[in-house]
């Protein structure tokens, strides 16, 4: 009977980069909120950072959706011994992920202030949120 090599090590090699990316994204939001709460006075900066954090939390979804789809394609091509097709699928995934992200950045630049206004922050917080979103 052949000895099984197990799946823990290959699984960890796949999971650890994603886990690290999620921890880094979480730490950016945490540091933003900490800075807003500790370096500025009043609730307005913290409200502005909190609102923009919700808006920015949508961006990773734009990257995650295409990568979830391309995973099956790359696995299929690698399993079939077609590395060129696997690389092509991965490259197209990058383009598919970048296009809506660029579109969202343009929309935020053009209509960011209207978005912030529509979410109902007080004027002081809205101004700070618009400036933060522009960064």
Q: Answer with the residue of higher pLDDT: 18 or 46.
A: 46
Does the pLDDT at position 58 exceed 80? no
The alpha carbon of residue 32 and the mean position of all alpha carbons in its chain are separated, in whole angstroms, by 15
Rounded to two decimals, what is the model's pTM?
Answer: 0.64
- Report yes or no: 25 and 60 within 8 Å, Cβ to Cβ: yes
> How confident is residue 88, by pLDDT bands cut at 50, 70 and 90?
very high
Alpha-carbon distance of 66 to 47, in angstroms, equals: 32
Give 83's pLDDT tier (boundaries 50, 70, 90): very high
Q: Are 116 and 129 in contact (CB under 8 A)?
A: yes
**pLDDT on residue 81:** 94
Q: Kindly indicate the confidence band of residue 3, based on its pLDDT and cuts at 50, 70 and 90.
A: low
């Amino acid at each position: 009977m052949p000895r099984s090599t197990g799946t823990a090590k290959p699984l960890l090699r796949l999971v650890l980069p994603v886990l690290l990316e999620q921890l880094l994204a979480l730490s950016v939001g945490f540091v933003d909120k900490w800075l807003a709460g500790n370096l500025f006075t009043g609730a307005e900066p913290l409200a502005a950072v909190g609102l923009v954090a919700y808006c920015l939390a949508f961006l990773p979804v734009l990257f995650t959706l295409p990568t979830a789809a391309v995973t099956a394609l790359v696995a299929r091509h690698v399993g079939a011994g077609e590395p060129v097709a696997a690389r092509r699928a991965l490259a197209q995934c990058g383009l598919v992920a970048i296009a809506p992200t660029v579109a969202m950045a343009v929309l935020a630049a053009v209509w960011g202030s209207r978005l912030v206004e529509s979410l109902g922050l007080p004027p002081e917080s809205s101004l700070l949120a618009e400036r933060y979103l522009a960064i």
